[in-house]
Chains A and B, each alone.
Chain A
């Protein structure tokens, strides 16, 4: 059997979506910490975005399916904690396009992902999943979600 390359593995990992934000891949999110290929076996180390994330097993399953027919193992690692800075520029763009404001460390108000206004305020630190908070835009008068800045 042909040997899979690092580039091919990363390309395949780029097709594994976040379960709730299907435009966004685990590579966009910066969840892939390390890929090793040994004797045709692929070993992928993933960094969970949140410890109690109920989607981890789902993601593991999708990674194994995406890498098939190459056999693979998936391990969740904590030696370096995932932070919001690991989301790639493409990931930030895709989050915004999906209507979720990307993380923001600037201290400036979040830009509304729907209309771009900075007249926004947080209405709840916790949203529909562990990774998101809820905001409201006073300009377009719509609620929106934002990825937590961890």
Chain B
């Protein structure tokens, strides 16, 4: 019989918040492409993927709430910027399509590895949530991999722009692999495999870039650590927009 002590509960929040926050912010940024994607099919696809991502975040917030942490609505609408644990990779404002494809390919590949490793956690509600999330994740990983291939083989211009975008994204990877203050939490839950995902990610991405004849760019050093709540001024704008409707009528029923 599983026993969740208060220490385990707090530790699980340290482990799940970065993952859930990454999904929420990726969903929010993805939805900013509505009506702007390269074609109608992509508009539909990205809308679905963003809706999935917000759903995944909510389900993970729900797992935390069942253990006595704050409710999903509170997580999203009542946390100060410094309480968020997402990485810089998912937070970047919308630029061009090559940047978005490079960015999301890197994120989805990492998140897929991370979620599979997380499935070893001995907490039944989390395992059930992950089983469902991973069914849908498969589609997201495949979608951005297809786009990576499309741009790599599309023509001279798309290839050059993808390569340039990949270099820009790699320079910002820093805190993707960080666990901030959550490293001891991983030990408590026997999930230390989660702290050594970087070589797995590098090996998978390196193979793919090689197959597509793309260069492996330099990975940037960590300038600020989103896992410690350091998000830069652009997050203040994003958070203000995300919570603007709720702020108008904080006690309203939605």
Query: A interface vs B, CB < 8 Å?
Result: 48, 50-54, 78-83, 123-130, 134, 148, 150
User: Within the assembled complex, what's the spacing in Å between the Cα atoms of A84 and B216?
Assistant: 39
Across the A-B interface, how many residue pairs have beta carbons closer than 8 Å?
Answer: 67
For this complex, 28 residue pairs linking A to B, each with C-beta atoms less than 8 Å apart, are A50-B52, A50-B55, A51-B56, A51-B58, A51-B59, A51-B132, A52-B51, A53-B55, A54-B51, A78-B59, A78-B125, A78-B131, A78-B132, A79-B128, A80-B128, A81-B131, A82-B132, A125-B139, A126-B41, A126-B44, A126-B46, A126-B48, A126-B49, A126-B139, A126-B143, A128-B44, A130-B48, A130-B52
- A150 and B136 form a contact (CB under 8 A): yes
A46 to chain B: closest CB distance in Å? Answer: 13
- B122 vs chain A, min Cβ distance (A): 15
Bitwise, B146-166 to A at CB < 8 A (1) or not (0) is 000000000000000000000
B44 touches A78 (CB 8 A): no
Which B residues lie within 8 Å of A123 (CB)? 41
Contact of B124 among A53, A79, A83, A130 (CB under 8 A): A79
| B115 on the A face (CB < 8 A) | no
Please give the distance in Å from B66's CB to the nearest CB on chain A.
11
Shortest CB–CB separation between residue B69 and chain A, in angstroms?
18
CB-based nearest B residue for A129: B48
- Give the Cβ gap from B70 to chain A, nearest Cβ, in Å: 20
For chain B, what secondary structure do more than half of its interface residues adopt (helix, strand, loop), or is it mixed? helix
CA distance A127 to B56 in the complex (A): 19
Q: Does B25 contact A (CB under 8 A)?
A: no
**Given A54, A81, A134, which contacts B132 in the complex, CB threshold below 8 Å?**
A81
A51-B136 contact in complex given A79-B124, A81-B131, C-beta closer than 8 Å: yes
Most chain B CB neighbours (cut-off 10 Å) among A123, A125, A126, A148: A126
- Minimum CB–CB distance from B205 to chain A (whole Å) comes to 21
CB pair A51–B133 under 8 Å, yes or no, is yes
How far does the alpha carbon of A128 sit from the alpha carbon of B44 in the complex, in Å?
6
Taking the closest CB of chain B, its distance from the CB of A105, in whole angstroms, is 13
In the bound complex, how far is the Cα of B238 from the Cα of A54, in angstroms? 23
Contact A52 B55 (CB under 8 A): yes
Does B142 count as interface, using CB distance less than 8 angstroms? yes
What are the residues of chain B within 8 A of A78 when measuring CB–CB? Answer: 59, 125, 128-129, 131-132
Q: Is the interface of A mostly helix, strand, loop or mixed?
A: loop
In the complex, chain B residues 210-232 whose Cβ is within 8 Å of any chain A Cβ? none
Interface presence of B78 (CB below 8 A): no
Contact B52 A125 (CB under 8 A): no
Task: Compute how far the CA of A5 lies from the CA of B53 in the bound complex, rounded to whole angstroms.
Answer: 39
Residues on A with C-beta less than 8 A from B128 are 78-81
Tell me which of A51, A127, A128, A129 contacts B55 (CB under 8 A): A51
Complex CA–CA separation, A145 to B46 (angstroms) = 17
Q: Determine if B56 and A52 form an interchain contact, defined as CB atoms under 8 angstroms apart.
A: yes
CB of A127 within 8 A of CB of B44, answer yes
The answer to whether A130 and B51 have CB atoms under 8 Å apart is yes
Within the assembled complex, what's the spacing in Å between the Cα atoms of A53 and B48? 9
How far apart are the CA atoms of A74 and B44 in the complex, in Å?
30
B-chain residues with CB within 8 Å of residue A50 when the two chains form the complex: 52, 55, 136
Would you call B45 an interface residue if the criterion is a C-beta within 8 Å of the partner chain's C-beta atoms? Answer: yes
Across-interface contacts of A81 in B (CB, < 8 A): 128, 131-132, 135
CB distance from B87 to the nearest CB of A (A): 21
In the complex formed, the residue of B with least CB distance to A48 is B132
Note all chain B residues with C-beta closer than 8 A to A125.
Answer: 45, 139, 142-143
Partner of B52 from the list A51, A82, A127, A128 (CB cut-off 8 Å) is A51
Contact B55 A148 (CB under 8 A): no
Which residues of A have CB within 8 Å of B132?
A: 48, 51, 78, 81-82
Interface contact A134-B41, CB-CB below 8 Å:
yes
- Given A50-B52, A53-B55, A78-B59: 5 more A-B contacts, CB < 8 Å: A52-B58, A80-B128, A125-B139, A126-B139, A127-B48
